[in-house]
Amino acid sequence: TKEHRFAAVDLGASSGRVIVGEVAPERLTLHEAHRFPNQPTRVLGTLHWNIMSLYQGVLNGLKAAANRTPHPLTSIGIDTWAVDYGLLAADGTLLANPVHYRDPRTTNAPEKVAKALSPQALYAATGIQHLPFNTVYQLVSAQGTPALAAAHRLLLIPDLISYWLTGEPGTELTNASTTQLIDPRTRDWATPVAQALGIDLTLFPPLRHPGDAAGTLRQEVLTETGLTTPLPVTAVGSHDTASAVVGVPATTPDFAYIATGTWSLAGLELDAPVLTEASRAANFTNELGVDGTVRYLRNIMGLWMLQECVRAWETEGARTGSTGSTGGTGSTGSTGSTGSTNLTALLQAAAQATPLRSVVDAGDPAFIAPHHMPDRIADACRRTGQPVPRTPAETTRCVLDSLALAHRRAIDDAARLSGRTVRTVHIVGGGVHNTLLCQLTADACGLPVIAGPAEAAALGNVLVQARAAGAITGGLPELRSLLHSTQPLRQYEPTGDHSAWDRAAARLGAAQVTRAAT
Ligand code: LRH
């Protein structure tokens, strides 16, 4: 049988990669062609993505993919983080460097939005959880700025990369749902929401669906990368989390997933949105998935908390000249944290630290912004009357216990709010490499955890391309069964005293009430 090769461009918040997937009916293998860091830069007080450097990374990656194999690629697919965008002039020029969703420019936007549309009405119309950086809040904050006033077109980040590669604008649906401007029932624009907020929907080019053709590479891209003409770009679940959920190797319908990386996205795959007031109050989102599915999940702070702690300790180590237990400057790698061997030592020490000594609310938006993470964690422990972690190992344990607890809470809540039963938890994404986090999650949930694949987003991206090209057939169950039979997976059984997690959850419940009251 014929083998096809697909390039998956997958840009995450801490690194980007171009991965080549080789696909035949019973075969699926991945080769990483190129990985590059994603380092945002603060300029005059605003945190930006280095979009040109990311695009150069994509070109370098496609060149490496072309060099790796004598066989031509069948197509390219692009997925990235959600919500952010670039604004273009009528001639296609990028009007301003895209702003990072962690920039605090949206701080006052929710209040402004609430004046035009109540949080209840906004949720009923879009089903999207409240996160301060949702595209609607970014656009409302940008109202009156020269760039938005001059903008002819808005492209979400994967659509922007796709446009630069092909010259063909489009808006891919799964990622469009994270703008909070899509109605999850019609899977089309929520025009009344846009009207109420003064957002011009004509800025968005027409919607595309995963599997749709999205143009062919421009001549300048072929010249730059050494790829051969004509090479199509295929729309995939361009929201990285949508592709990661395709990449969950589930074999039964009663599974929950946790897509781990900078964020933990924990929840269920449904065939219809849950738009109830209880769901809104629990801050669950109904993002759109591939093949008509709904990603019913909650955003949890994820390994960002650990990455930011490590960054703080390294800066401190550099200042004091001591290396400490986390010294070294490992580049950001696939564990979702630094790739240095010291991280291994830190995680080993954390595994030995007292379990559940203190936990924090890993859903607290107070942890979204960069800087001072160990201090913020210490403050949260102090505020809630729990022991303050004293060492990097204790802080790391606090973070991982807190993440596991938040995973459990999200899965319990998702099951309750949607009326579903969960028997298995799948962990995919960079956090798969963090065996302590996987074990703690199994312990906290009291359910078996199947960990892997780490490159679920790239795999989901490749699978959707492969199906569009006719290299494989079937729905999500068939794609997932191919993953299950070809990808290395590891199972974790729940261990330990389950009631300890109930007690920690109760402590956190009290803590959350305390926070709300202050
Ligand atoms: C993960 C992710 C997540 C979004 C956030 C902005 O990379 O796409 O699903 O909420 O980034």
ipTM score of complex = 0.99
pLDDT of residue 316: 87
Nearest to 469 by CA among 229, 213, 248, 158: 213
Cα of 257 from ligand 1 centre, angstroms:
15
Of 83, 128, 130, 243, which is best to mutate to test ligand 1, by the most ligand atoms within 8 angstroms of its C-beta?
83
Q: Give the side-chain half-sphere CA count within 13 A for 152.
A: 9
Alpha-carbon distance of 90 to 265, in angstroms, equals: 36
Which residues make beta-bridge pairs with 262? none
Nearest to 168 by CA among 222, 212, 227: 212
* Cβ of 240 below 6 Å from ligand 1: yes
Alpha-carbon distance of 81 to 102, in angstroms, equals: 12
* Cβ of 151 below 6 Å from ligand 1: no
Alpha-carbon distance of 210 to 347, in angstroms, equals: 38
Alpha-carbon distance of 348 to 325, in angstroms, equals: 11
Alpha-carbon distance of 176 to 167, in angstroms, equals: 19
* Cβ of 12 below 6 Å from ligand 1: yes
pLDDT of residue 338: 44
Give the SS3 label for residue 46: strand
Cα of 411 from ligand 1 centre, angstroms:
18
pLDDT of residue 327: 36
In order along its 518 residues, the chain shows pLDDT tens digits of 689 999 999 999 999 999 999 998 899 999 999 999 999 999 999 999 999 999 999 999 999 999 887 789 999 999 999 999 999 999 999 999 999 999 999 999 999 999 999 999 999 999 999 999 999 999 999 999 999 999 999 999 999 999 999 999 999 999 999 999 999 999 999 999 999 999 999 999 999 999 999 999 999 999 999 998 789 999 999 999 999 999 999 999 999 999 999 999 999 999 999 999 999 999 999 999 999 999 999 999 999 999 999 999 998 888 777 655 443 333 333 344 444 548 999 999 999 999 999 999 999 999 999 999 999 999 999 999 999 999 999 999 999 999 999 999 999 999 999 999 999 999 999 999 999 999 999 999 999 999 999 999 999 999 999 999 999 999 999 999 999 999 999 999 999 999 999 999 888 875 554 433 33
pLDDT of residue 152: 98
Tokens linked to 139? 């656009």
Residue 233: enclosing H or E segment and its boundaries?
A: strand 232-234
- Which residue's CA is the closest to the ligand 1 atom numbered 11? 81
Cα of 240 from ligand 1 centre, angstroms:
7
Under DSSP, the state recorded for 518 is -
pLDDT of residue 290: 98
* Cβ of 82 below 6 Å from ligand 1: yes
pLDDT of residue 228: 82
N- to C-terminal Cα separation, the chain: 65
The answer to whether the CB of 402 falls within 8 A of the CB of 360 is: yes
Alpha-carbon distance of 102 to 107, in angstroms, equals: 10
- Which residue's CA is the closest to the ligand 1 atom numbered 7? 81
pLDDT of residue 317: 84
pLDDT of residue 289: 98
Whether 240 is catalytic: yes
* Cβ of 81 below 6 Å from ligand 1: yes
Nearest to 127 by CA among 290, 293, 284: 284
Alpha-carbon distance of 35 to 20, in angstroms, equals: 12
Specify the pTM. Answer: 0.95
pLDDT of residue 510: 57
* Residues whose CB falls within 8 Å of the CB of residue 160, separated by 6 or more in sequence, listed in order: 51, 85, 86, 94, 98
**Cis geometry, peptide bond prior to residue 192 (ω within 30 degrees of 0):** no
Under DSSP, the state recorded for 416 is H
Instruction: Name the active-site residue from 84, 103, 183, 240.
Output: 240
Atom in ligand 1 nearest the alpha carbon of residue 299: 10
What are φ and ψ of residue 44, in 5° steps? 45, 45
Cα of 282 from ligand 1 centre, angstroms:
18
* Cβ of 250 below 6 Å from ligand 1: no
